[in-house]
A and B are shown apart, each in its own frame.
Chain A
Amino acid sequence: MIAYIIRRLFYAIPILIGVNLLTFTLFFMVNSPDDMARVHLGVKRVTPEAIELWKADRGYDKPLLYNSKEKGIRSLSNTIFFQHSVSLFVLDFGRADDGRDIGRDIRQRMWPSLAIAVPTFIVGILLNITFAMLLAFFRGTYVDVWGVVLSVAMMSISIMFYIILGQLIMSKLWHLVPISGYDTGLRALKFLILPVLIGIVSGIGAGSRLYRTFYLEEINKDYVRTARAKGLSSLQVLFKHVLRNAMVPILTGVVAIIPLLFMGSLVMESFFGIPGLGSYTIDAINQQDFAIVRAMVFLGSLLYIFGLVLTDISYTLVDPRVRLE
């Protein structure tokens, strides 16, 4: 098992290099540093000197991939790619185009993101599991039919409608919670209620419908018939036998997401004005701050791969048949 995890982590290195190369190509091959400088400094009336200065300031004055002026290892290392990518591997994210320390920003902004994502995630999953269980218990009846119809309808609504409607009703009409904003400490609570609630409600449709199919798949299996032949009640069968088996696909699907909770929700945070990593990313996109976007891409990939490894590990925990070799 440990050997497996170590191997998986080794395997992550070429993937991260690939990610870096890809983003690098997108950022520097399509748009030369000159283009970027011009975008930042204003397209018209920039002197070549200003551009050179801008580039030198940010280390973009070096060759892209291969420095012919240098010798030996330096010909590879004294390049934009090396300087801006290798440091990412030790989680040194460098500075944003406006000079801020990206690493510090991330450490600071991950807490609001987590404050929304974690409760949404946990309560959402518990609710989905429960609703799906209800649908499965009443399978074939009208409860099930209308439950599924409702789920499909709910998942057909864009997240942004949930948010806008939620803000309209909860904040504008009923004045229950503030419409947006954030605060420190416990005072943040009142700002969190609405986004968390909307996050949960918007996920119920898709989640409970998916989990329902997991349950139904299990209910048709032979061991359920055995359990019934043993004289167990429907509820015992559902809770003791079916639930535990259905947890295998549910949990493993869910575990992969856990690390990505760090990244925050782009839409939610920007609608509610929450200073998390999601809105950080959006701001960077809108300000065309490539350094931040690159850092977030790297962080996202890293967390994704971490999620894959976690998924494998969680398999061994919920399914005794799986052993990592």
Chain B
Amino acid sequence: MLDFTFKILVTDALLYILVTAIIIFIVYARKHEHLSAPWRQIKNKKLAMSSFVILLFFVITGFLDSIHIRQEIKIDTESKTQQQVVQYSSEVLSLLDLLLTKLRVQTEKTYSAPFAIHSFTKEVTDDQQGKPKLYYPRLKYGGAHLQAQDSRIYDIGKRLLWALFWTLLVIVLCILLVAKFVVSKNDNKNEKTNLNTKLKTVLSGNTSTPWLTILLVMSIPVFFIASLVELGPFYHIMGTDQVGNDVLYKTIKSIRTGLLIGTLTTLIILPFAIIFGITAGYFRGWVDDLIQYIYTTLSSIPSVLLIAAAILSLEVYMTNNPQSFTTLIDRSDTRLLFLVMILGVMSWTGLCRLLRAETMKIRELDYIQAANSLGVRHRKIMSRHIFPNLMHIVLITVVLDFSGLVLAEAVLSYIGVGVDPTMDSWGNMINGARLEMAREPLVWWNLTAAFVFMFILVLAANIFSDAVRDALDPRLRKA
């Protein structure tokens, strides 16, 4: 086993900060009734929890893809250097890459269709007579284990059955775990219920948290993972792209890009929006005028153009300072970071405006007046009285913005001002697929893969954010 060293990219670090912040929030919220109550409401909704389960799998994938390492390179004993320097590969890999090593390294020459064992394009070879002949060559990896007489369908079916078996095993195990440890706490007042009755409770779907639904929904990604394990090393499930890379691998790698853009941007937004929004609404007067001026100016600039301008400037800067960006991954990470920052700068204005308006309403409420008459200082009023009462708006905006940002990434990458072209992203995949649609016969799998993954992520996010808004916005709750 090779040794390795961690390589923390800037975006990784930001993601860790975000995850830590979320964990702190959860711990804090558990102690505060008004914060945890709406989440409990969400916890009991089937649709919300289904989408949450799906989101969770995306998040885990993205997180695995954000722990980067560099492996140690075995140096020959006759190495010229005398010193025992440990050398690390310049190739930065993530945990996800290691898990999907087979998918990553088994590259073909060029296009191949999903589950194909032959290449998509013809090659010229000499036949026995020495005449050139066009034929579809066998793929190097896709279906390479199959003998000529083996049935591909039979092989795939067999492996899928195995995947199904594993899925069932995992789900049954989960049901048992839920029945053993979770159900008794909330749903059965009777302490002495045995496992059997608990199981019945879970399977009848009569739990306050819809465990049955959660587990059924969970079986879909579990089955997907099981199939990936069973089929991935032997076939290109979603085919290969122009340079022979596995499309499914690229699609899965794109999850991180989408997630980072959707989440890190809000991390940039929040401090700006919260501080500016509250101070403008609370102090009014010239502070308000100044902040209003800043955000009107920023939001009046067409955002695509500002992003384009910023990215172009970055590009020029990178060409002029090549020494700072030695590796490809550094380049693309810097660009991602820059994109996230500029998206953040462009989009804090909306939340800021909302918070300012709400602060202006809250500062007129009686309890603020009471705090004033008790001599509470401004900073304390803003942090103890106003901010906690704006929390729901902040949370709603964060979840609502997420799906919009994921979609925006695709458009920006298409225009050429999104993430680095070498980076795996759905936007880049769609951009590439555009020309493939003109091919005859159609190369449809690139686009389809990007579409399916992106649609599932955005749909789940949209459904979840709907539930969050319903739970957190008291105005909508009555409707």
A and B directly contacting (CB within 8 A): yes
A-to-B contact residues, CB < 8 Å: 14-15, 18-19, 22-23, 26-27, 30-31, 35-36, 38-39, 43, 152-153, 155-161, 164, 167-168, 172, 213, 216-217, 220, 260, 263, 266-267, 270-271, 281-282, 285-286, 288, 290, 293, 296-297, 300-301, 304-305, 308
Q: Is the CB of A168 within 8 A of B302?
A: no
Q: Which of B459-479 contact A (CB under 8 A)?
A: 459, 462-463, 466, 476, 478-479
B299 at the interface (CB under 8 A from A): yes
Q: Which of B274-313 contact A (CB under 8 A)?
A: 293-294, 296-302, 304-306, 308-310, 312-313
Taking CB atoms, residues of chain B closer than 8 Å to A281 are 304-305, 308
Q: Digit string of B388-428 for contact with A (CB within 8 Å is 1, else 0)?
A: 00000000000000010001001100111100000000100
Give bound CA distance, A102 to B92, whole Å: 46
B454 at the interface (CB under 8 A from A): yes
Q: Is the CB of B305 within 8 A of A300?
A: yes
Q: Is the CB of B305 within 8 A of A293?
A: yes
Taking CB atoms, residues of chain B closer than 8 Å to A19 are 297, 300-301
CB closest residue in chain A, given B319? A43
Q: Is the CB of B437 within 8 A of A168?
A: yes
Q: Is the CB of B415 within 8 A of A300?
A: no
Give bound CA distance, A158 to B407, whole Å: 6
Taking CB atoms, residues of chain A closer than 8 Å to B296 are 15, 305, 308
With A22-B301, A39-B319, A266-B415 as contacts: A293 and B434 at CB distance below 8 Å = no
CB closest residue in chain A, given B304? A266
Which of A18, A35, A213 sits near B293, CB closer than 8 Å?
A18
With A152-B462, A164-B433 as contacts: A30 and B308 at CB distance below 8 Å = no
B264 at the interface (CB under 8 A from A): no
Q: Is the CB of B293 within 8 A of A282?
A: no
Give bound CA distance, A107 to B326, whole Å: 45
Give bound CA distance, A35 to B319, whole Å: 9
Q: Is the CB of B309 within 8 A of A27?
A: yes
Most chain A Cβ neighbours within 10 Å, of B304, B411, B430: B304
Q: Is the CB of B301 within 8 A of A301?
A: yes
Q: Is the CB of A27 within 8 A of B302?
A: no
B-to-A contact residues, CB < 8 Å: 293-294, 296-302, 304-306, 308-310, 312-313, 316-317, 319-320, 403, 407, 410-411, 414-417, 426, 430, 433-434, 437, 442, 447, 451, 454-455, 458-459, 462-463, 466, 476, 478-479
Give bound CA distance, A10 to B312, whole Å: 32
Report how many A-B pairs have Cβ atoms within 8 Å.
136
Taking CB atoms, residues of chain A closer than 8 Å to B317 are 30-31, 35
Q: Is the CB of A220 within 8 A of B478?
A: yes
Taking CB atoms, residues of chain B closer than 8 Å to A161 are 430, 447, 451, 455
Q: Is the CB of B300 within 8 A of A300?
A: yes
Taking CB atoms, residues of chain B closer than 8 Å to A172 are 437
With A161-B451, A164-B433, A282-B415 as contacts: A27 and B407 at CB distance below 8 Å = no
CB pairs A–B below 8 angstroms (10 shown): A18-B293, A23-B309, A26-B310, A27-B309, A31-B313, A36-B316, A158-B451, A159-B411, A217-B479, A305-B296
Shortest B460–chain A CB gap in Å is 9
CB closest residue in chain A, given B296? A15
Give bound CA distance, A267 to B407, whole Å: 13
Taking CB atoms, residues of chain A closer than 8 Å to B304 are 266, 281
CB closest residue in chain B, given A305? B300
Give bound CA distance, A195 to B109, whole Å: 36
Give bound CA distance, A15 to B416, whole Å: 28
Shortest B413–chain A CB gap in Å is 10
With A15-B297, A152-B463, A267-B411 as contacts: A285 and B312 at CB distance below 8 Å = yes
The 6 closest A-B pairs by CB, nearest first: A300-B302, A18-B297, A156-B459, A301-B300, A156-B458, A304-B300
Which of B293, B459, B478 sits near A153, CB closer than 8 Å?
B459
Taking CB atoms, residues of chain B closer than 8 Å to A27 are 309, 313
Give bound CA distance, A217 to B476, whole Å: 8
Give bound CA distance, A56 to B466, whole Å: 56
With A156-B462, A161-B451 as contacts: A267 and B414 at CB distance below 8 Å = yes
Q: Is the CB of B417 within 8 A of A35?
A: no
With A164-B434, A168-B437, A270-B415 as contacts: A297 and B301 at CB distance below 8 Å = yes
Q: Is the CB of B430 within 8 A of A158?
A: yes
